[in-house]
Amino acid sequence: MKNHTNGILDSYTLGNTHYDEVYTGSKQPRNHYTSMVERFNQLSLKDFERINNEVKTAFLNQGITFAVYAEDKKPDERIFPFDLFPRIIPNEEWIHLENGVIQRNRAINLFLHDIYHQKKILKDKVVPADLIFSSKNYLKEMVDFTPEAGIYTHISGTDLIKHTNGQYYILEDNLRCPSGVSYVLSNRVALKKSLFDLFDKLKTKAIYHYPEHLLEMLKSVKPKNVDNPTIVVVTPGMYNSAYFEHSFLAQKMGVQLVEGRDLFVEKDFVYMKTIYGPIKVDVIYRRVDDEFIDPLCFRKDSMLGVAGLMNAYRAGNVTLANAPGTGVADDKAVYHYVPDIIKYYLNETPILNNVETFHCEKESEGKYVLDNIDKLVVKPVDESGGYGITIGNRLTKAEIEEVKVRIKSNPRKYIAQPIMSLSVHATFIEESKEFEPRHIDLRTFCLMGKDSEYVLKGGLTRVALKKGNLIVNSSQGGGSKDTWVLD
């Protein structure tokens, strides 16, 4: 037996009510974690802290930061905390995830085409028409218009969690401008620099070629009659919280990073101002929200957009990635229909689970909800940003009665879901100088081009650094881990 008395993971206490990614219930490392745990246990606390500090300094020096906004203050630039202990996904588990993500995004893309053209799924009453038409993200500007190669969601970020039962569940779809991929790539570089020998024992799938795939995908959706497309990344500017990512991706792809004011539209073509004169732009990876992209068409007060861009787009002279109007499909209310959407267009069983959902307007489901409020999360269908959500096991008796009254008064407005618990992963906590279980999720990145589908191997594992916190967002004190898919 090897002596583990000094191992930095020895004092780790299992997160026993949640699925622990690293250890089994008897604190044995799971098979795919054995060598990783062994390697980390060879490090002394002092060594580990030194490496940890070096990595932090390197992130700050490279400007791998995000901005936190507060009223009356300048945005605060922070590094996105990075935990050195990687999250590992065995290959067969990953293949399942990858197939599920592709299946889901393929179906969502067909759904978008349908609701902007024939609207068959609405006429067949699989998805309620009102749900779509009342969404502010359903754009009349996209009706009867087909984007190049029929692709709407060129870049999507599907968020997943692992529940207590060890199964993955889809938490949400991000179909507008999902961020985070720059952290994935930077995390891997940082880990390689600091703990290179980790990569000797375990073989992980490479991720460094993501920008190449992104560039190829963008080229594949170039407008017709263009041979060698000019591609740009459009950013809202350096004060945007994801500005680092915008500049990172532009630089890695070797294309220009521009703002709306660097572009103009003349005769339905888009041009970039350069010191050599105007250059025609063919494909735009835009990180500006729909309502700001064209002041002639959407918000008149937008300073971030390009006047006339939608005319150029609709004339087929420029491709926008993602297409405008994709937000209608990542609406919370539409989420519940995605399994039906998959069956409808692909005639396949969904590979990845949605979180089970009860519609209070259906009599039997409504009754179940009223009888089990303490075990459920109740959400209004038409609110966002977490408003009006109640979590059953945190309610007092009186509050439970209040929720019941609200549901009974307008059952159409509410849905309920089981309380999902995110899996936990050993994470180094600076305050206690120990590894402790912390909740994690996974954002995957999927690219869809003309005849090509690609999912980045792994993705962004976000970790909630505050004890017991379920919110993994960076603005809420979340961090990230490198994510390994074993070769």
| Nearest to other proteins of 143, 391 (CB atom) | 143
Task: Measure CA 159 to chain center.
Answer: 5
Assess 123 for contact with other proteins (CB under 8 A): yes
- Window 237 to 266, contacts with other proteins (CB under 8 A): 264-266
Q: Which is nearer to other proteins, 77 or 266 (CB)?
A: 266
Q: Which of 173, 87, 251 is nearest to 448 (CA)?
A: 173
Q: Look up residue 300 and give its DSSP letter.
A: T
Is 410 a residue that touches other proteins (CB under 8 A)? no
Write down the least CB distance from residue 382 to other proteins, Å: 15
Interface mask toward other proteins for 468-487; x: CB under 8 A: --------------------
At residue 267, φ and ψ (nearest 5 deg) are 50, 45
Closest CA relative to residue 389, chosen from 363, 409, 419, 412: 419
For residue 122, which phi and psi values (nearest 5 degrees)? -80, -40
Contact status: 308 vs other proteins (CB under 8 A): yes
Task: List the one residue from 45, 129, 238, 391 that touches other proteins (CB under 8 A).
Answer: 129
Among candidate residues 169, 176, 183, the one with its CA nearest the CA of residue 66: 183
Q: Which of 130, 128, 181 is nearest to 158 (CA)?
A: 181
Residue 119 found at the interface with other proteins (CB under 8 A) = yes
Cβ pair 22, 445 in contact under 8 A: no
Half-sphere exposure of 134 (CA within 13 A, CB side): 10
- Among positions 139-178, residues that touch other proteins (CB under 8 A) are 140-141, 143, 145
Contacts of 334 (CB under 8 A, 6+ apart): 127, 131, 132, 135, 328
315 part of the interface to other proteins, by CB under 8 A: yes
Q: Do 479 and 439 form a contact (C-beta atoms < 8 A)?
A: no
Span of 306-314, 407-415, 421-429, 465-473 interacting with other proteins by CB under 8 A: 306-314
9/115 with CB nearer other proteins: 115
CA 342 to chain centre: 20
Residue 201 contacts other proteins per CB under 8 A? no
Q: Whole-number minimum distance, CB 297 to other proteins, in Å? A: 9
**CB-wise, 133 or 239, nearer to other proteins?**
133
- Token pair belonging to 63: 């400007």
Please answer whether residues 458 and 451 qualify as being in contact, where contact means their C-beta atoms are separated by less than 8 angstroms. no
Termini Cα distance of the chain: 29
Q: Which stretch binds other proteins (CB under 8 A): 17-25, 72-80, 303-311, 350-358?
A: 303-311
Considering only residues 122, 189, 202, 272, which one is a binding residue for other proteins as defined by CB under 8 A? 122
Number of residues that bind other proteins (CB under 8 A): 24
* The Cα angle at residue 469 between residues 32 and 48, in degrees rounded to 5: 50
Between 81 and 260, name the residue whose CB sits nearer to other proteins.
260
Note whether 133 binds other proteins by CB under 8 A: yes
Closest to other proteins by CB, 123 vs 203, is 123
Q: Contact between 300 and other proteins (CB under 8 A)?
A: yes
What are phi and psi for residue 66, nearest 5 degrees? -135, 160
**401 forms part of the interface with other proteins (CB under 8 A):** no
- Residue closer to other proteins by CB (options 301, 451) is 301
Return d(Cα 400, Cα 376) in angstroms, integer.
11
The DSSP bridge partners found for residue 320 are: 284
| Between 46 and 140, CB nearer to other proteins | 140
Using rule CB under 8 A, residue 307 touches other proteins: yes
Binding range to other proteins, per CB under 8 A, among 309-317, 365-373, 391-399, 421-429:
309-317
- The span of 22-30, 117-125, 208-216, 441-449 binding other proteins (CB under 8 A) equals 117-125
Dihedrals φ, ψ of 316, to 5°?
80, 15
∠ CA 336-340-342 to the nearest 5 degrees? Answer: 110
Q: Could you list the residues that contact other proteins (CB under 8 A)? A: 119, 122-123, 125, 129, 133-134, 140-141, 143, 145, 264-268, 295-296, 300, 307-308, 311, 314-315
